[in-house]
Chains A and B, each alone.
Chain A
Amino acid sequence: MEKMPKWADVLLTPLISLVLAMAISALVILAIGESPVEALTTMIDGALGSSYGWGFTLYYATNFIFTGLAVMVAYHASLFNIGGEGQAAMGGLGVALVLLSVPLPHWALALPAGMAGAALFGAAWALIPAWLQAKRGSHIVITTIMFNFIAAAALNYILVNLMRPVGSMDPASARFPEATHLPKLSDMALAFGIEWGKNTPVNISFFVAIAACLLVWLLIWRSRLGFEIRAFGKSEPAALYAGINPVRITVIAMLISGGLAGMMAINNVMGEAERLVLNAVEGAGFIGIAVALMGRNHPLGVFLAALLFGFLYQGGGELALWTSIPRELIIVIQALVILFTGALDNMVRMPLERMFLAIRKRGA
C-alpha cells in the first residue's frame, strides 16, 4: 500500500525541504547582517523579474537538465555517476573538434553534428570507468571523480598546446565558424516580432534538452532496455536470474549517461561561448547530482529541479551584483537545498508519511 499520495511524494516533500533550506539560508543571511527579504526579492527580480533574467535562468537550467538526466539514467542502473563534470568537459572538446574540422554551411546541420560530437566524447569519457566497474569492480564513484581531474588536465594541455590559435594569449580554441552559431531564443522570438530576452545566452539547445527529457522518459519507463536498466539497478542477482547481462547494462547505462552529460556542450560551448574555453562546465556536472536527487530521478522532476537551480544560479549572481552578500553564499544556499532534498529526505518524508497515515485512519 502506498504510504502517501503520489503528489505528496513527488511535490510536497521536495517543496517542504526547499522551504526548510530557505529558512536556514535566511538565518545565515541574517547572521551576516543582511536582510533575507531583500535578498529573496533581489534573487527573484534578477532571475525571474524580466525576460533578461529568464534568459539566463533558462540558459543555466539547460545545462542542468543535461547533467541531471545524465546522473538520473546512471542512477536507475544503480550507478552513481559523479563524473558529469569531466564528461561535459569532454563533450565540449567533441563539439569543438567537429565544428573546427568539418565545414558546415548551416546551424541546422551543425546542431546534429555538434550533438553527435558532444555525445560521443562524453560517452567515451564514461566508457572507461564503466568498463572498469563492470569488469574489474573498480568503484565507479572513485573512477568517475578521478576522470574529472584527468579531463580538466587534458583539456588544459590541449587548449594551451594544441588548439590555441597561433598568437593568441587565451587558452581557448579558435571561434567556431559563423554559420554554425546556434539561434538564440531572443532571435527566434524576434522572428515572431516579440522582443524577449535580448542579449541572453539561452538558445535552441533548451528545446533539445526538453526533447532529451522526453526521450529519457521513454527509454527508462517504456523500453526493454530501460526495463533491464531498472531491474539491474534494483537487484543484480535478480538481473542475472532474468538473463540480463550486468556488463552490458553497466556499459550501456554509462554510455547514455556520459553522452547526456557531454550534450551539455551544445548549450554552453556551441550555443553560448561559440568556442572552447577553459573550465567551461563551471560545476554544472556536480549540480546535476543535486538536480537528479531533487527531481526524484524522473525527467519531469529533473526539468523542474533544473529550473530551480537555474534560478538559484542566476539569482545568486544578481545577489552578488546588487547586495553585499558574497557570491559564495549562493553556494551555501545550494548546498542547503542539496542537503535537505538529498541527504535529509527522510527527515521530511517520515513525518509526512505518518501524517498521511493518521489522516487516512481517521477517514476510514
Chain B
Amino acid sequence: MASDMQTGGRLATAAPAAIELRGISKSFGPVQANRDIHLRVERGTIHGIIGENGAGKSTLMSILYGFYKPDSGEVLVNGRPLTITDSQTAIRAGIGMVFQHFKLVQNFTVLENIILGAEEGRLLRPSLSKARGVLKRLAQEYELNVDPDTRIEDLSVGHQQRVEILKALYRQADILILDEPTGVLTPAEADHLFRILEGLRAEGKTIILITHKLREIMEITDTVSVMRRGEMVASVRTGETSPEELAELMVGRKVLLNVQKAPARPAQPVLEIRNLRMVDDAGVERLRGIDLDIRAGEILGIAGVSGNGQTQLLEILGGYPPKGSTVSGEVRVNGGPLPLAGAACNAAERRRQGLGHIPEDRQAEGLIMDFAAWENVAFGYHDAPEYGRGPLMDRDAIRRDAEGKIARFDVRPPSCDLAARDFSGGNQQKIVVAREIERNPDLLLIGQPTRGVDIGAIEFIHKRIVELRDAGKAILLVSVELDEIMSLSDRIAVMFDGRIMGERLPNEATTGDLGLLMAGVDPATAPPDTMPPAHEHVEDLPREA
C-alpha cells in the first residue's frame, strides 16, 4: 500500500523515532494545556521532560497513554501514525506508564497485580506461572528484585514502584514513561531506580522521565525538553545545557537555585522536646523518644524518607495528635509546657501560644479548597478579634486583610473571591504561607513547604522563611527534599523510624552521609561491613520489633 511504502522510504533514510509528536494541542475549556507540541524521542534513549506544575507535562503524557484525546496533532510511534484512543491501544503499541500515584491493588500479591488486566484465559493458574517465569528473568536482567508472593501493602514504596515497572515490562513495553518517579524515594532508592533505567536503556528501551528535579535530569537523561505554560520551549542534549539554563527556560526568567542567607544567630531556646513518644491506635510506636531543641533565629531541618514519624511529630506539635494515639514526653515552647493530650491540646490553643503551622498537605489540611481565598486567609484564625467581635464575622475586615496578604505574597491571580482549588499549587501554598508567616509566630512548624510548588514560588517561599528566621523566630522544617533541607537549614536532624538518627551542620553534611542516616545507619558508629550496599532499601534492614 502507498502509505506503507512511504513509511518504508522514510525508514531507509533515518531510523524512526520511538515517539514523535507533531503539533499536539489540547485545551480544557478556556485552559490551553498543550499548544502545538512537537517532540521527538529517539529509540534507546532516556528523555527528560521538565516544567513547572501546570506546564502541561502530565496532560501530554496522558494523551500519549490514551487518557485524553488531543484536539489536533499527530502521534507517531516507531514512525507509524497511531490514534491512541485508550490505554489498551497504548499498551499494544508498546507504551508503558508508571504513574506518580501507583495503580496497584493493595491486598493483591505482586504476581496478581502483574497479571491484572493481562490474564490469559479464564483460569488464573497458567497466567500466574507464566508471569512467575517472566518475572524471574526480568529480575535478573534489570536488578528488579521483588518477591512475587508478597502483598503490595507489605512492600516499601520503592518496591511498589518496581512492581509498576515490572507490570509495564510484562506487557512488553518498549517505551516507558515515568511520572515524577523519585518523589517518594530515598536518595539510595533513587540511585537504584536510575541504575534500572540505565539497564533498560542498554537493552534498547526508550524512557521518558517526567520530573521537576533538575539534578535528576542532569544525572541520567540523554536529551531533555522543557515545557512552559503548555508549550515546548526547548529540546536540547543534556550534555550541552546546565541546571541554571534549564531553570531559566522553565520559569522564563533567571532563578536563584540556592538560598541566599546570612549565618544564623541563634538566641534563647524556643522549642524544647524531651523524650517524645507516640503509640498509634494500632499499638505501633511511631515516635520513639525524640529530643530536639530549636532556638530563636534558627531553622532546624528534619530530613528523612516520608513515613518515619515526621508527620506525627508535626501533628502533635500542631495540637492534633493522630486519633487514638497515646503521647508521652515533654514539650516546652518559650519555657511553658505544651499540653500533649486533653482539651487544651488543640490547634487553636497552640496558635494562642505563638505557634504557626504550614501543614504538609495544604489541600487536605491547610486550606478548605471550596472556600474563597479570603475565607482561607482567616482559616484557623477566624476567632481573632480583628476579624469581628461577637458571633458574627466582619467580612470587610477579613477581605481587607486578605487583599493585603495576597498582594504582599504575590498570589496570582490576585483575587480574593477565587476558590482555593482554582489557584495553582504554588499560589495555594503562598496563601497558606502568607497566613501563617504574617501572624509572626514565635515558632513556625513547616511541613513540605514546596511540595508540588513551581520553581519561581519555591524561591519566594524560601526567602520568606529565611526572613522570618532573621526576625528572630524559631523554625522547624520538615521536608523530604534533601536539597531543600540542605540549603535552608541551620542544623539538620535526620529522622528514621521514629527516632532522630543524628544531627549535622549543613556545610559539613554530604548527601551520602545523610542518605545513610535516612536509611537508619549511623556512619559514625556502624562498622563498615554492616553498612548496607547503597541500593538496599530501608525496609530490608533489620528493625527492632
Give residues in A with beta carbon < 8 Å to B.
1, 3, 218, 222-225, 227-228, 230-231, 234-235, 237-238, 240-245, 357, 360-361, 364
Instruction: Please give me the 8 A-B residue pairs with the lowest Cβ-Cβ distance, nearest first.
Output: A243-B348, A243-B347, A242-B380, A241-B365, A240-B320, A357-B29, A234-B368, A237-B365
Check if B349 sits within 8 Å of A1, measured CB to CB: no
Within the assembled complex, what's the spacing in Å between the Cα atoms of A3 and B383? 33
Contact B365 A231 (CB under 8 A): no
| B359 close to chain A: CB less than 8 A | yes
Those of B386-405 within 8 Å (CB) of chain A: 388, 391-393, 395
Known A1-B422, A238-B364, A238-B367; 15 more pairs at CB < 8 Å: A1-B30, A222-B393, A223-B392, A223-B393, A227-B375, A230-B371, A238-B365, A238-B366, A238-B379, A240-B365, A241-B318, A241-B359, A243-B348, A243-B349, A243-B350
CA distance A235 to B369 in the complex (A): 9
Contacts of B314-362 to chain A: CB distance below 8 A = 318-320, 346-351, 357, 359, 361
Determine if B393 and A224 form an interchain contact, defined as CB atoms under 8 angstroms apart.
yes
User: Is B392 within 8 A of A222, CB to CB?
Assistant: yes
Q: Which residues of A contact B347 (CB under 8 A)?
A: 240-243
Q: Are A234 and B392 in contact (CB under 8 A)?
A: no
- 8 A–B contacts, CB within 8 A, in A order: A224-B393, A230-B371, A237-B364, A238-B364, A238-B368, A241-B365, A242-B347, A242-B379
Which residues in A have their C-beta under 8 angstroms from that of B379?
A: 231, 238, 242
Closest Cβ of chain B to A1, distance in Å, is 6
Also in contact, A241 and B357, with CB within 8 A (given A1-B30, A361-B29): yes
Whether B539 sits at the interface, judged by CB under 8 Å, is: no
> Which of B30, B366, B375 is within 8 Å of A361, CB to CB?
B30
Chain A CB within 8 A of B382 CB: yes
In the complex, which residues of chain A have a beta carbon less than 8 angstroms from the beta carbon of B348?
242-244
B385 to chain A, nearest CB (A): 11
Q: Does B370 contact A (CB under 8 A)?
A: yes
Contact of A228 among B29, B30, B382 (CB under 8 A): B382
Closest to A227 in B: B382
Closest residue of chain A to B379 (Cβ to Cβ) is A242
**Which of A222, A225, A240 lies at the interface centre, i.e. has the most chain B CB atoms within 10 A of its CB?**
A240
Contacts of A231 in B (CB 8 A): 368, 371, 379
Q: Knowing A1-B30, A234-B369 are in contact, say whether A243-B380 is a contact too (CB < 8 A).
A: yes
A46, B364: Cα distance in complex, Å:
51
Alpha-carbon distance between A235 and B421 when the two chains are bound, in angstroms:
13
Among residues of A, the one whose C-beta sits closest to the C-beta of B349 is A243
Q: How far, in whole Å, are A1 and B424 apart by their CA atoms in the complex?
A: 12
Nearest A residue (CB) for B357: A241
Complex interface: chain B residues within 8 A of A3 (CB): 29
CB neighbours of B319 from chain A (8 A): 243
Bound Cα distance from A158 to B395, whole angstroms:
49
Residues of B within 8 A of A243 (CB): 319, 346-351, 380
Question: A228 to chain B: which residues have CB within 8 Å?
Answer: 382
- When distances are taken between beta carbons in the complex, the residues of chain A under 8 Å from B351 are 243
